[in-house]
Amino acid sequence: MKDGSLKLKFVLGQIVGASTNAGLDAVYQRMFDAAKGKIRRAPNKVEHGIRAIVFGAFLLEAVCNELYKDFLEGQIPNPRLARAIWSATARLAIPEKLRIATTGRALDKAEIDRQMGKIKALFDLRNRLAHFKDTDAVWEVDLNLLTDPENWFQAPEPELMKNLTGSRLAEHIAAIEDLLKWFECVFGVRRRALKSVTRGRR
């Protein structure tokens, strides 16, 4: 198996169950990390920012799902009931899964609201990229200025572009990394490091 995981459940030293996982979180983690590397080498290329936001959002969804499923299995003693609740709630959005996990927990409400705000900002941006509708930015300058490409960097940038390079992109990347750590705190489950294993014949 390349990527993914095989989980074994033991009771009194005996294997009583096994499950597999596609390991999408490991795949998206690599894609997110690759995008960050490209941003460091070419910080002004918008396509690298797009990759970081899109794959970062995919990563958050995959990790949230994995930790939420483990959370249900850990909180609900009856395995059949845990699986049923997972099946019934698996399609909920990230904020809804987090609300379930934070119910009755001694977590700071202001911190929850702050992190939820980050999630909303990131997924609003991801959704805008996925359903792209751009509008022109009006630049009222002398036409002579437009004849020299060196002056074009002075043009106003649409709001979307400002989120895909520079300090705003750095803030979004930091938010993704911060949320990954916060998810572990919310669910009380540590994310497993998935290792890639390739088997081949010689």
Are 53 and 31 in contact, with CB atoms under 8 Å apart?
Answer: no
pLDDT in tens, 81-119: 999 999 999 999 999 999 999 987 888 999 999 999 999
User: Cα dist. 16→4, 12, 115, 170 in Å?
Assistant: 20, 9, 38, 46
For residue range 50-68, list pLDDT tens digits in order. 999 999 999 999 999 999 9
β-pairing verdict for 14-21 and 5-11: antiparallel
pTM: 0.79
Distance (Å, rounded) from C-alpha 114 to C-alpha 46? 27
Q: Which two tokens stand for residue 171?
A: 């803030």
Q: Which of 48-52, 107-111, 134-138, 146-150 has the largest mean confidence? A: 48-52
**Count of other CB atoms within 10 angstroms of residue 55:** 22
Residue with tokens 């992109």: 169
Among 53, 51, 39, residue whose Cα is nearest residue 121 = 53
Q: Cα separation of 123 and 49, whole Å? A: 14
